[in-house]
Structure 1
Amino acid sequence: MKNTFDSPLPDSNGFFGEYGGSFIPPQLQTIMDEITEAYLEIRKDPGFQKELARLYRHYVGRPSPIFHAASLSEKYGADIYLKREDLNHTGAHKINHCLGEALLCKKMGKKKLIAETGAGQHGVALATAAALVGLECDIYMGEVDIAKEHPNVVRMQILGAKVIPATHGRKTLKEAVDAAFEGYMQDPVNQFYAIGSVVGPHPFPMMVRDFQSIVGNEAKEQMQELTGGLPDNIVACVGGGSNAMGIFTAFLDDDSVKLHGVEPAGHGVEKDGDHAATITKGKPGVMHGFKSYMLQDEAGEPQEVYSVASGLDYPSVGPQHSYLKDIDRCNYEHIDDKEAIDAFFELAREEGIIPAIESAHAIAFAIKLAQRGEKGSILINLSGRGDKDIDFVVENYGKDYGITNRM
């Protein structure tokens, strides 16, 4: 298998074209430079690679399988495949980079992992990794998402993490990131901020992408074994964009493979605050220490955003996604709440798989792609399972799908 960490981008300053970099205070930049140096060292360390590979196989359960969704394929006339990241330990792709970040934190001699979480999948994965390697763990989460994703909150607490509510603004993912940065600044020497996506100041967009690239490396070999060739299309949801970069990276040089990133349209992209379709409606700006496409007001401040998927409602996006958009390597489109919830139930009832609402955005777009007449193969990164979303979906949408026995 290709080396997980082979990539010519970003440059030495953390830029993907004009995007990325590190826009942070000088005292914090010193800490970031130490993290960068430590990461560049360990990613070449055979011992680190061996330990991470051992955990991926025996702890996470990698490689995650690829499943041919025969019912959906027959229904829509295209061969639809699912990369089953939902079968990983903790139920999503997030464990891939959380283990790497936890091992790096331990090697650097830091005492505590901290992070933000939206849907709770990153929080659960980081709490899991912290318990495994023996570190303290603080997770910042918006009050709205704490109520919405209660099962994951309980999981984090069972694992020994402290869940700290973000109580300002919309009380969702962006505010959780704000609160986590504030918490980190109180003691950056002893804490390690394990950013949950391919966002933030350098080296995090690179680091998280590298750890997640195992998804695409596996998928490339698996699709060749299953079908004799590469997929014609790859589809992944995009909030910050970690699962998408994870599966896209291995195929960036394969021009025959069309890449599709799917943003959350929420209630519709026509009105500000009703969506989180950053690449579709945003423009370049700086937020949370990096430059990327960003939903912003006239003063350049982050706009309020919304999505039914707690893991996607972020007003910026990973800088490499902005770069891929500008060079026309990836097609970015959007799916609204109703289309995502329809796809949530359709995958459950056609294939017996309950997806995370985030992943349902990718399912919905893959169906739309097939309906447009795409006859080739479509590989979807099924980035997470929907256990965390069941109570919310039944409470808010159950009657529309024939569920009458609600608690």
Structure 2
Amino acid sequence: MSKGMVRKSWDESKKMWNIAGPSILIGVTQFSFEFVTTAFVGHLGDLELAAVSVVQNVLGSFVYGIMLGMGSALETLCGQAVGAGKTNKLGIYLQRSWIITFITALILTPTYVFASPILKILRQSKSISDLAGKYSLWTLPQLYAYSLNFPIQKFFQSQSRVWVMTWISALVLSFHVLLNWILVTKLGHGLVGAAIAGNISWWLINLSQIVYIVSGYFPDAWTGFSMLAFKSLSGFLKLSLASAIMLCLELWYYTAVILLVGCLKNPNIAVDAISICMSLEQGTLMVALGFNVAVSVRVSNELGAREPKAANFSVVMAVSTSFLFGIIFSGSVLATKSQFPKISTQNPEVVRETSKLGYVLAATVFLNSIQPVLHGVAVGAGWQFQVAFINAVCYYIIGLPIGALLGYKFNLGALQAEERIRTWSGLSQPQEMDEEEVP
């Protein structure tokens, strides 16, 4: 490798890690809110753990995918605007995204209110559905927290100003652990206490970030609230919907797997086992999502600046680095497959069933190290519709039918359903990128 290429790779790596590093920490800390909740609730009982797992992985994934997707349009628009030197547009874009995500939250509210009957219609056990329905009502404020948080994240990330979010998330996570200990363990409020702790933590994050935005740290990007936010919403909505469809078709695969497992024999144990695996998997996924953010920002910035070759090089660097992390994480899962289930449960049967999924989990973790990075390329370049089509075919036309067939017809239970779905969900390499017009 020539000295010029080494220097170019080093410069790009620094730019990438300046975004990916804090983004990974943000993802890990914010994901840890659910992990902490699961850890505390897991010691209340198998039924409580199963109920919370269903809410997090079925209702939560459904809502989270839509809200994150609706906010991801901002990632494309703001990133390209920054690259084109039009930072004055960012505040208006942020406010438009808030309008769209808040309306989306209103539309999604009935899924929280009627969670119990919805889960029963989906053939989940009555005991799990009833308890999950009560828990979901208490977590409703988190839905509206998402509507503010996701657009704010994209606003910060597009300008490579992510360290402040990292510190806020880390501080609130420490407070979240304390809240759960007080409300769930010390005062014995059970699931209600866990839900209240989550609500308080998410809204603390939002309030802290909003205070930072309006305090003058973004003099060009934020000039105050404006009625312009209500104009040109249709075009913004179109890109938001495309982003939501792209992400939902991927994230809802977790929902589908949980629903399939919930219909198996002995659903409490099966749901607990696969939920613990998914929690760990989603934790490692935060690293890949950090590179997802980094490559999305780098691609959108370079395309906004009309530098498609630089955008292509950013893709190569991000995919290569995330690939190496995938190897490390999958090896770690294999090395600890008999130990990691004990973090969330002391039930020997759940520990044993979860350990059996170790090899499948390791393969899934490895594949997850690459796919989100390619999705970041799609968001940065504005290819959401194309990737949505790929996801629909891979997950739902190929993956899920095979998973259902293995789980029910061949009685392989939870073990191979997730593996087949994820194996068929890999994306092809991105096409050569053309220059894009900044909206």
TM-score of the pair, normalised by structure 2: 0.27
Greater fraction of residues in helix: 2
Greater fraction of residues in strand: 1
Whichever of the two has the greater Rg, that structure is 2
TM-score of the pair, normalised by structure 1: 0.28
RCO comparison, higher one (Cα < 8 Å, 6+): 2
